[in-house]
Amino acid sequence: MELVAVFAPLVGFLIAFLFGKQIGPRGAQFVTCTGMILAAVMSCALFYSVILQNDPRVLHLATWIAAGDFEVQWALRIDQLTVIMMCVINIVSACVHVYSVGYMSHDPARARFMAYLSLFTFAMLMLVTANNMVQLFFGWEGVGLASYLLIGFWSHKPSANAAAVKAFVVNRVGDFGLLMAIFTTFVVFGTVQFDAIFTMAPDKTVDTFNFFGFEIHALTLICLMLFVGAVGKSAQLGLHTWLPDAMEGPTPVSALIHAATMVTAGVFLITRFSPLFEYAPFAREIVCIVGAMTALVAATIGLTQFDIKRVIAYSTMSQLGYMFFALGVSAYSAAMFHLMTHAFFKALLFLGAGSVIHAMSNEQDMRRMGGIWKYIPTTYVLMWVGSLALAGVPFFAGFYSKDLILEAAFASGSWFGQMAFWMGIAAALMTAFYSWRLILLTFHGKPRASAETMAHVHESPNVMLIPLAVLAAGAIMAGSMFYGAFANSATSPGHTQDIKHVGDMVSIWDKDYFFGDSIKVLPENDSVVAAHHVPKWVKLLPILAGALGIGFAFVVYMFREGMADKIVRAFKPLHTLFYNKWYFDELYNFLFVKPCFVIGKLFWKGDKNVIDGLGPDGVSKLSRGIAGRLGVFQTGYMFHYAFVMMIGLIGLVSWFIYRTMGS
Amino acid sequence: MTAAVWNWSEIIPALPEVFLAVSAMVLLVLGACQKNGGLKLIGTLSVAALAVAMVLTLKADWTPVTVFSGQFLSDGFSSYMKILVLGGLIATIMLSMRYLVQENMGRFEYPVLILLAGVGMMIMLSANSFLSLYVGLELQSLSLYVLAAIRRDDAKSSEAGLKYFVLGALASGMLLFGISLVYGYVGAVGFDAVADTLAAATAEGTVAPGAIIGMVFILVAIAFKVSAVPFHMWTPDVYEGAPTSVTALFAIVPKVAAIGLLMRLLFDPFVSLMPDWQQVVWFLSAASMAWGGFAGIVQGNIKRLFAYSSIGNIGFALVGIVAGTADGVAASILYMTIYMIMTAGTFGIIMMMRRNGVAVERITDLAGLSKTHPACAYAMTALMFSMSGIPPLAGFFGKLVVFQALIASGFYVLAVLGLVSSVVAAYYYLRIIKVMFFDEAEAPLDRESAPMRTLVLTLSIIFIAGFVLVPETLMHTSQEAAAVLLPAND
């Protein structure tokens, strides 16, 4: 069961990639989709056996590396946390696979595309099933590679190649952090196995680590390094610049990798290492602050963008910010909850956007859309569902998870928790606003596209709509069904009455039971429990903010046509700042990219003239020279040969005579 | 030394040699009685005779025993080397039968000469005194001179034979002169007596310079036989001029015998002069590796190229001897074994190179082989990768073990030189692959089936590819052979 859930995508990838030509695009689509659906079904089975029957396990496959004290196993760690991730990954991935069959139907290289999608899924599964840091790193790099390949899938577009390279390079910075974390862990703990690390962690709270001459609290250092890794992969502020550009990839890729799964790897990583983060309060503080700032900054940028996919991309970044500040206040289960609900509604939004783009003949600019809701009603409805969930409107998935995060942040009682709460409320307002800005600009108003495009507008085929429907079901239900599982605790039985939810049927809907030992929260840090005792206004404020945002969007984009421009003019400097994404790209260009090019050119020229000249080119020239010189001896005359022999003999004899005389 | 009473049982340890010598003479008579076209029969019988000799050697008792008044020694080392030599000879005859017919040189003397050379080599390997050494060496050399010139009507072949003969005579002269010097200063020609006297003199610090000079002369003569630089000058010309089948023989077999003889000399009579001869062999080895590597780069003729390749490879085999340890000798033996098998395969391909019925031997003639003869091209690729020492093929392990032994003995400079040379030499091996796979063919080579040659080639490929799976067997055997030669160091 575990093996099928993890390796079916690999098999799909291998068949589609190696024999793509032989089995043709249809065969590749069939193989990969079958593999994924199988994997998804198996994950659901695992959900039942591991979580509901409380039976976490570790499956050893083989020894990977054994060098002295350092031993690394191939193993599948199937615990509750893993299974939640597996369900999310496999279900969303299965939807995206099926959707891609329709979306990519005109692409000549669709067999390769399906293969890459499966490869990505497998790498992601390797990441979440890892039982040690090295295997985790393997999966981590694997998803990075798949992401690179898929962003640059349309390799004929220079912008796609640039975006792929950018994603890869920026991620390297994060990967470096993760590597440092692995190294430090090995130095401090002497092992990279999760179990051993987590058991030892409470004893290591006073250890320090000499880092560039500074004695630093070892666990804090490890956690911060892990966080650097997470920042890269999860596009948090600082290393976020690659995510919007990654939208150059085909839309299914954006949905799967850059919204639902890979970018949440950072959240998973920190949750996995919760036993360490619990003993590193300073690291959690940093995580919380960065997360909150990301949530806010990304939301402000999202307000101003016009590319439909970029708006959603910034919203993804903003939602990831929510998850991170939840992690920062020890609300791991809340973060995982939001991760899950977000995966559903964000994949839905992306695939919906893909459906729109498909309908609009590959137009992505919202300024050239509008008025198409009656032509593509199904997509329209599904986009509404996604947006409602995103904006946190009650009873949709996002509402439960986002509320839980905000309440936990407020309840944590720390100054940064409070700050994160207010920034989160502000971001929630903006989220609601730009979600409806997107809907109104895209579907309502007068058509702004060319007549030719408008004539082509058509609803997507069923093969694309059915996955959307599955995801929509998730976006509607996932929140209410699993609220108890992620939020309730045996220590706060009274809370369940606060919000009506359908999931509270059995006693297992309780986060202590649901997660078992896979996450660790110290009782005094447990902000999720504390979240049940916040004042009423804290619970109502997010809903209010959402409603305000939606209302405001209707006013600006539906009822008062010219108002948007007026607002833009009134807040010119702010708008420019937001529109240009806070000038992060320009700053990085100036600070890193340009100097790198200058240094690169210097080395390139230097390498060509100096190193190549003296090295490869010079040596080969020299070799040929020597060879030519030696060839001169080979005259063909026998007396020359005899002469050389005699010289050799005399030389050797002289050497010995000289030595005998000398001694 | 008491004069031994002649005893028929003395002949038993030398049975393979005696058998081979008798068969050679019988076959000579038999061949003379045949009308033209006796080649096939004589060739087949020669292979059979060699095979019988091989079985006799295998079945013989490998405990050291000297016979014929201390002239002849049979032990584990000589037997192992003899099996190599006999195997090499069988492979050469099997490779060349078809070629001889095609080139119209199908004379029955050809296999008989090979048998006689074989007898010479076996005597060399079993020599226990300078006299038997000389007799064996000359028997082998004279047969090879004739073989090199066997195409009397071909100017190049005659030239090759003559060059080889004259320079070989010069080397023989040096050998004899060296032997007389050693005899003069040591007073003995038997290996055991020489070893004892020199050991005693070394202990007292009174080794006569003349004895050392004599040893240098002898070493130079053997260096000529193994074509170590600077006594290699004949090699490219003879390899190119001689018929390809003879070149294959030269490349595959005599060097194994000569290296075996060299080991016997250095670790038996001259073992107490090790610090002295290490210097000579160090120089020969370094010069051969470098020369073989560099000079091969500019060659256009594939036979000439493999002349330089063999010079370089001898340098690597000498590396193990320089180390002066049992591990080093074992490494050298293993290296020669692997080299021999790779070369057999390589010449199998070279002899296949014919266009419109005419043998061609330029490297560029191989162009486009991957399209016209893919199996051949891949076989050659494996052989060339192995020659240049790329894992996991056998050639890599050959180089690995000799350098391991060398490093263990602390000769770092030579190790670095050797590695650099092997990188340089890799150029011409890889170039062949490049030509086969990336260059456009002018006209495809002929297709022909030569089952015997294909068999040798296939076995060679199986060996170089499969060695990595069961390396212990051969390594163990070569270590045992080396242990016989250096019992003290073990």
pLDDT digits (tens, 9 = 90+) for B373-426: 888 899 999 999 999 988 889 999 999 999 999 999 989 999 999 998 998 899
CB B248 within 8 A of CB B95: yes
CB B367 within 8 A of CB B435: yes
Q: Does A618 touch chain B (CB under 8 A)?
A: no
pLDDT digits (tens, 9 = 90+) for A214-247: 788 888 999 999 999 999 999 888 888 888 888 8
Percent above pLDDT 90 for chain B: 56
Q: Is the pLDDT of residue A492 over 80?
A: no
Q: In this predicted structure, what is the pLDDT of residue A590?
A: 81
Which range, of B36-40, B183-187, B258-262, B285-289, averages the lowest pLDDT?
B36-40
Nearest Cα to B384, choosing from B421, B434, B418, B420? B434
CA A468 to chain centre: 21
**H or E element at residue A71:** strand A70-78
Contact at CB, B174 and A649, closer than 8 angstroms: yes
Q: Which residue of B167, B202, B233 to mutate against A (max A Cβ within 10 Å)?
A: B233
Percent above pLDDT 70 for chain A: 96
Task: List the single residue in B with minimal CA-CA distance to A636.
Answer: B237
Q: Is the pLDDT of residue A499 over 60?
A: no
Q: Does B165 touch chain A (CB under 8 A)?
A: no
Bridge-based pairing state of the strands A208-211 and A70-78:
unpaired
CB proximity list for A607: less than 8 A, separation 6 or greater: none
Q: In this predicted structure, what is the pLDDT of residue B36?
A: 66
Which range, of A490-494, A642-646, B36-40, averages the lowest pLDDT?
A490-494
* Local confidence band at B489 (pLDDT 50, 70, 90 cut-offs): very low
CB B297 within 8 A of CB A630: no
Q: Is the pLDDT of residue B3 over 60?
A: no
Nearest Cα to A439, choosing from A340, A506, A372, A517? A372
Q: Give CB contacts under 8 A, 24+ apart, made by B24-30.
A: B24/B49, B24/B112, B24/B115, B24/B116, B24/B119, B27/B108, B27/B111, B27/B112, B27/B115, B28/B109, B28/B112
Q: Is the pLDDT of residue A536 over 50?
A: yes
Average pLDDT over residues A627-643: 82
What region, left, alpha or beta, does residue B37 occupy, with left being phi > 0 and alpha being psi -120 to 50 degrees? left
User: Which chain B residues in 424-443 lie under 8 Å from chain A, judged by CB atoms?
Assistant: 424, 427
pLDDT digits (tens, 9 = 90+) for B196-225: 999 998 888 888 888 889 999 999 999 999
Q: Does A566 touch chain B (CB under 8 A)?
A: no
Q: Does A633 touch chain B (CB under 8 A)?
A: yes
Which residue among A623, A640, A649 places its CB closest to the CB of B297?
Answer: A623
CB A192 within 8 A of CB A186: yes
Q: In this predicted structure, what is the pLDDT of residue B35?
A: 73
Contact at CB, A645 and B231, closer than 8 angstroms: yes
Q: Does A642 touch chain B (CB under 8 A)?
A: yes
Q: What is the mean pLDDT of chain A?
A: 85
Which residue among B167, B280, B295 places its CB closest to the CB of A641?
Answer: B167
Contact at CB, B297 and A652, closer than 8 angstroms: no
Bridge-based pairing state of the strands B354-355 and B358-359:
antiparallel
* Local confidence band at A358 (pLDDT 50, 70, 90 cut-offs): confident
Token pair for A36: 């994924």
The alpha helices in A506-615, defined as continuous H runs, are 511-515, 527-530, 536-554, 563-570, 572-579, 584-588, 594-606, 612-614
Which range, of A526-530, B3-7, B71-75, B209-213, averages the lowest pLDDT?
B3-7
Residues of A in contact with B163 (CB under 8 A): 638, 641
* Local confidence band at A500 (pLDDT 50, 70, 90 cut-offs): very low
Contact at CB, B171 and A645, closer than 8 angstroms: yes
Cis bond before residue B487 (omega within 30° of 0): no
Q: Does B192 touch chain A (CB under 8 A)?
A: no
Contact at CB, B224 and A645, closer than 8 angstroms: yes
Contact at CB, B166 and A638, closer than 8 angstroms: yes
* Local confidence band at A606 (pLDDT 50, 70, 90 cut-offs): confident
Which range, of A508-517, A526-535, B357-366, averages the lowest pLDDT?
A508-517
Separation of alpha carbons B142 and B148, rounded Å: 10
* Local confidence band at A498 (pLDDT 50, 70, 90 cut-offs): very low
Helix (H, G, I), strand (E, B) or coil at B129: strand
Contact at CB, A652 and B209, closer than 8 angstroms: no
Q: Is the pLDDT of residue A608 over 70?
A: yes
Rg of the Cα atoms in chain B: 22
Token pair for B422: 């092997």
Amino acid identity, residue B480?
E
Task: List the single residue in B with minimal CA-CA distance to A620.
Answer: B424
Q: Does A663 touch chain B (CB under 8 A)?
A: no
Task: List the single residue in A with minimal CA-CA distance to B237.
Answer: A636
ipTM for the predicted complex comes to 0.86
Separation of alpha carbons A520 and A330, rounded Å: 9
Q: Which residue of A641, A650, A653, A663 to mutate against B (max B Cβ within 10 Å)?
A: A641
Residues of A in contact with B308 (CB under 8 A): none
Residues of B in contact with A640 (CB under 8 A): 233
SS3 content of chain B, % helix, strand, coil (to 5): 75, 5, 20
Amino acid identity, residue A452?
E
Q: Which residue of A620, A630, A637, A650 to mutate against B (max B Cβ within 10 Å)?
A: A630
CB proximity list for B250: less than 8 A, separation 6 or greater: B144, B148, B238, B239, B242
SS3 content of chain A, % helix, strand, coil (to 5): 75, 5, 20
The alpha helices in B60-129, defined as continuous H runs, are 76-102, 109-126
Higher pLDDT, A589 or B215: B215
Q: Does B167 touch chain A (CB under 8 A)?
A: yes
Separation of alpha carbons B253 and B265, rounded Å: 19
Contact at CB, A649 and B163, closer than 8 angstroms: no
The residue whose two tokens read 């390899």 is B239
Which residue among B231, B233, B294 places its CB closest to the CB of A623?
Answer: B294
Q: Which residue of B162, B294, B431 to mutate against A (max A Cβ within 10 Å)?
A: B294
Which residue among A624, A634, A655 places its CB closest to the CB of B236?
Answer: A634
Q: Does B253 touch chain A (CB under 8 A)?
A: no
Task: List the single residue in B with minimal CA-CA distance to A625.
Answer: B294
Which residue among B217, B276, B295 places its CB closest to the CB of A627?
Answer: B295
Going by the DSSP 8-state scheme, the letter that residue A583 receives in this structure is G
Contact at CB, B291 and A630, closer than 8 angstroms: yes
Largest CA distance in chain B: 71
CA–CA min distance A610, chain B (Å): 21
* Local confidence band at A414 (pLDDT 50, 70, 90 cut-offs): confident
Neighbours of A324 (CB within 10 A): 31
Residues of A in contact with B231 (CB under 8 A): 644-645, 648
Q: Does A658 touch chain B (CB under 8 A)?
A: no
CB A306 within 8 A of CB A367: yes
Separation of alpha carbons B83 and B77, rounded Å: 10
Q: Does B463 touch chain A (CB under 8 A)?
A: no
Token pair for A461: 């085929």
Which residue among B230, B295, B297 places its CB closest to the CB of A645?
Answer: B230
Average pLDDT over residues A102-111: 86
Residues of B in contact with A642 (CB under 8 A): 166-167, 170
Q: Is the pLDDT of residue B459 over 90?
A: yes
Q: Is the pLDDT of residue A269 over 90?
A: yes
Q: In this predicted structure, what is the pLDDT of residue A505?
A: 44
Separation of alpha carbons B465 and B459, rounded Å: 10
Q: In Å, how far are A634, A649, B72, B452 from A629, measured between CA atoms? A: 10, 22, 45, 41
The string of DSSP codes covering B391-437 is: TTSHHHHHHHHHHHHHHHTT-HHHHHHHHHHHHHHHHHHHHHHHHHH
Size of interface A-B (CB pairs under 8 A): 73
Give bridge partners of residue A62 from the DSSP assignment: A74
Task: List the single residue in B with minimal CA-CA distance to A639.
Answer: B167
Q: Is the pLDDT of residue A40 over 70?
A: yes
Q: In this predicted structure, what is the pLDDT of residue A504?
A: 44
CB A115 within 8 A of CB A17: yes
Which range, of A528-542, B75-89, B386-400, averages the lowest pLDDT?
A528-542
Q: Is the pLDDT of residue A320 over 80?
A: yes
Contact at CB, A634 and B295, closer than 8 angstroms: yes
CB A391 within 8 A of CB A546: yes
Average pLDDT over residues A280-289: 91
Q: Does B170 touch chain A (CB under 8 A)?
A: yes
pTM, to two decimals: 0.64
CA B243 to chain centre: 18
Separation of alpha carbons B334 and A627, rounded Å: 29
Q: Does B277 touch chain A (CB under 8 A)?
A: no
Average pLDDT over residues B456-466: 92
Q: In this predicted structure, what is the pLDDT of residue A508?
A: 53
Which range, of A121-130, A146-155, A455-464, averages the lowest pLDDT?
A455-464
The string of DSSP codes covering B290-334 is: HHHHHHHTT--BHHHHHHHHHHHHHHHHHHHHHHTSHHHHHHHHH
Contact at CB, B295 and A630, closer than 8 angstroms: yes
Residues of B in contact with A653 (CB under 8 A): 213, 216-217
Contact at CB, A624 and B236, closer than 8 angstroms: no
Q: Does B279 touch chain A (CB under 8 A)?
A: yes
Contact at CB, B276 and A656, closer than 8 angstroms: yes
Token pair for A660: 């005998």
Residues of A in contact with B296 (CB under 8 A): 627
CB A519 within 8 A of CB A81: yes
Nearest Cα to A382, choosing from A419, A409, A355? A355
Helix (H, G, I), strand (E, B) or coil at A448: coil
Q: In this predicted structure, what is the pLDDT of residue B2?
A: 52
Q: In Å, how far are A92, A95, A466 from A101, measured between CA atoms? A: 15, 10, 12
Phi, psi of B341 (to 5 degrees): -70, -40
Token pair for A111: 């067999």
Cis bond before residue A535 (omega within 30° of 0): no
Percent above pLDDT 90 for chain A: 26
Residues of B in contact with A615 (CB under 8 A): none
Separation of alpha carbons A324 and A327, rounded Å: 5
